[in-house]
């Protein structure tokens, strides 16, 4: 502003000199005054020019500093190991870094202008719409808690990610900042730990730890819904003879094939657990009558009647089953398992390859013929 004020003062003096110079007769002293004033004007113009050059140089320095800071930010943005996206309040992408482009297998430039929803599975979009609405209504910048979802890529399978969404307000406009973290490896490790903790390594069936967490929940649900739950103990008949005569390797293969055959006899909602050795636990829920349990046991026993080929051997094996019903045979896990175990020994004492309900439960239909 100062330089423009200086130029305006010089211009006004120049107008005054011109006015004086047009008067007649010309005053000689006016020429001397004009020359002196002209010299002063030139000096002021020179000073103004120097000030202008200095300001231009300062502005150029500021522009360079801003460009340096912008480039530094861009480098940090692109070198970040996690994915970052910037979008408007509607989720339309304005920028994405190298990491997110690699995650989505999409060039950075191709991300711009795409709706974020395009990269989410349809079943996850409603939750994100709700988050966007919540954020856009907030009067102050907010940040959401991380949530896990899946991102759809241009090529390949969807990937597991953790997303955090925050806002940045510039006047009336809102920008959304998306932090996208790849948790594929974390999910893999969690699944591996879960598999080791809750599933039998040999057969792949759930183990005792899984049953301990599962069965109380099933019983509580059955109590609310006034339905029955069957807890059955299964024991393979004369499995020890196979182990002793053919070795544990053949015995392990036999357990694997038996597990597959038994599992094929069950509904999706039924649970088969390897209890240990050649013992299994079966949980059948959502029952209104014990007859369904009897039908399931018939199918399981029948599934083992055909020969089981292992290496050069053709093996036969049977199973005995003891069944306890919730709530009449017990209202807790320990009691039901104990009563199912007692019923199992009744089945073994009465010929094997058969099933028995706990004595407190009425028998259902004729028993299958005993097998030795």
Where residue 102 sits, what CATH number does that domain have? Answer: 3.30.450.20
Classify residue 370: in a domain, yes or no: no
Q: Do 132 and 68 sit in the same domain of this protein?
A: no
Residues 34 and 15 in one domain: yes
Share of the chain above pLDDT 90, in %: 46
Residue 244 domain flag: yes
Answer yes or no: do 45 and 97 share one domain.
no
Residue 156 domain flag: yes
Pairing of strands 308-310, 271-276: unpaired
User: What is the distance between the alpha carbons of residues 2 and 155, in angstroms, rounded to a whole number?
Assistant: 61
| Cβ neighbours around 139 below 10 Å, total | 6
Q: Is the pLDDT of residue 164 over 60?
A: yes
Summarize pLDDT for 289-328 with one digit per residue, the tens: 999 999 999 999 999 999 999 988 999 999 999 999 999 9
What is the phi/psi pair of residue 48, to 5°? Answer: -60, -40
Query: If we measure between CA atoms, which residue out of 340, 244, 355 comes closest to residue 304?
Result: 355
Single out the residue of 205, 234, 204, 241 nearest to residue 316, CA to CA.
241
Q: Which domain holds residue 143?
A: 83-186
Question: In angstroms, rounded to a whole number, what is the distance separating the alpha carbons of residues 232 and 290?
Answer: 12
59, 39, 48, 37: which is closest to 2 by C-alpha?
48
- 210 touches 123 (CB < 8 A): no
Assign residue 231 the CATH number of its domain.
Answer: 3.30.70.270
Same domain, yes or no: 180 and 213: no
Contact of 291 with 329, CB cutoff 8 Å: no
Determine the Cα–Cα distance for residues 180 and 162; give it in Å rounded to an integer.
Answer: 6
Both 175 and 221 in one domain: the answer is: no
Q: Does 366 map to a domain?
A: no
Among residues 158, 186, 214, which one ends one of the domains?
186
Query: Residue range 107-129: average pLDDT?
Result: 86
Please state the domain count of the chain. Answer: 3
Decide which of 55, 76, 97 is a domain's last residue: 76
45, 76, 107 - which closes a domain: 76
For residues 237 and 134, the model is more confident at 237
Which residue carries 């004009």 as its tokens?
34
Distance from C-alpha of 158 to C-alpha of 122, rounded to nearest angstrom: 12
Look at 167-181, 194-208, 260-274 and tell me which has the smallest mean pLDDT. 167-181
Residue ranges in the chain assigned as alpha helix (H):
2-21, 28-79, 98-104, 108-111, 122-137, 184-198, 208-225, 239-246, 248-263, 291-303, 333-349
Burial of residue 198 (number of CB atoms within 10 Å: 0-12, 13-18, 19+): middle
- pLDDT for 369 equals 38
**pLDDT, tens only, 7-46:** 676 667 667 666 666 666 656 666 566 666 667 767 777 7
Q: How confident is the model at residue 239 (pLDDT cuts 50, 70, 90)?
A: very high
Give the pLDDT band (50/70/90) at residue 365. very low
The answer as to whether 236 is a domain residue is yes
**Residue 224 shares a structural domain with residue 255:** yes
Same domain, 65 and 204: no
CA angle 227, 332, 351 (to 5 degrees): 85
Q: How far apart are CA 81 and CA 99, in angstroms?
A: 6
Q: Is 260 in the same domain as 345?
A: yes
CA atoms within 13 A on the CB side of 337: 13
pTM of the shown model: 0.64
Cα three-residue angle 155-159-162, rounded to 5 degrees: 140
Backbone angles phi, psi at 239, to 5 degrees: -65, -30
């Amino acid at each position: 502003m100062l330089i423009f004020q200086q130029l305006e003062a010089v211009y006004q003096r120049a107008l005054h000199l011109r006015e004086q110079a047009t008067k007649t007769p010309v005053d000689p002293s006016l020429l001397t005054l004009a020359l002196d004033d002209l010299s002063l004007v030139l000096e002021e113009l020179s000073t103004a020019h120097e000030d202008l050059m200095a300001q231009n140089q300062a502005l150029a320095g500021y522009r360079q500093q801003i460009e340096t800071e912008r480039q530094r930010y861009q480098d940090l943005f692109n070198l970040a190991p996690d994915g970052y996206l910037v979008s408007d309040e509607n989720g339309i992408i304005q920028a994405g870094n190298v990491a997110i482009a690699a995650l989505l297998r999409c060039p950075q430039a191709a991300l711009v202008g795409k709706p974020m929803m395009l990269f989410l599975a349809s079943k996850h979009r409603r939750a994100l719409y709700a988050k966007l609405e919540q954020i856009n209504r907030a009067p102050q910048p907010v940040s959401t808690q991380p949530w896990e979802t899946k991102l759809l890529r241009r090529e390949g399978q969807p990937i597991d990610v953790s997303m955090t969404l925050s806002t940045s307000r510039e006047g009336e406009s809102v920008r959304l900042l998306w932090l996208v973290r790849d948790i594929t490896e974390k999910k893999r490790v969690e699944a591996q730990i879960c598999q080791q903790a809750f599933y039998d390594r040999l057969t792949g069936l759930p183990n005792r730890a899984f049953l301990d967490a599962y069965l109380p929940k099933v019983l509580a649900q059955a109590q609310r819904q006034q339905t029955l739950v069957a807890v059955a103990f299964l024991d393979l008949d004369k499995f020890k003879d196979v182990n002793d005569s053919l070795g544990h390797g053949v015995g392990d293969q036999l357990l694997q094939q038996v597990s597959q055959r038994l599992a094929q006899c069950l509904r999706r909602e039924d649970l088969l657990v390897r209890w240990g050795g050649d013992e299994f636990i079966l949980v059948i829920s959502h029952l209104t009558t014990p007859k369904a349990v009897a039908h399931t046991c018939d199918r399981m026993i029948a599934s083992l009647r055909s020969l089981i080929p292992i290496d050069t051997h053709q093996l036969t094996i049977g199973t005995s089953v003891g069944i306890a019903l919730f709530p009449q045979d017990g209202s807790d896990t320990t009691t039901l398992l104990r009563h199912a175990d007692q019923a199992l020994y009744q089945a073994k004492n009465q010929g094997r390859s058969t099933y028995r309900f706990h004595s407190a439960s009425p028998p259902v239909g004729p028993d299958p013929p005993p097998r030795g």
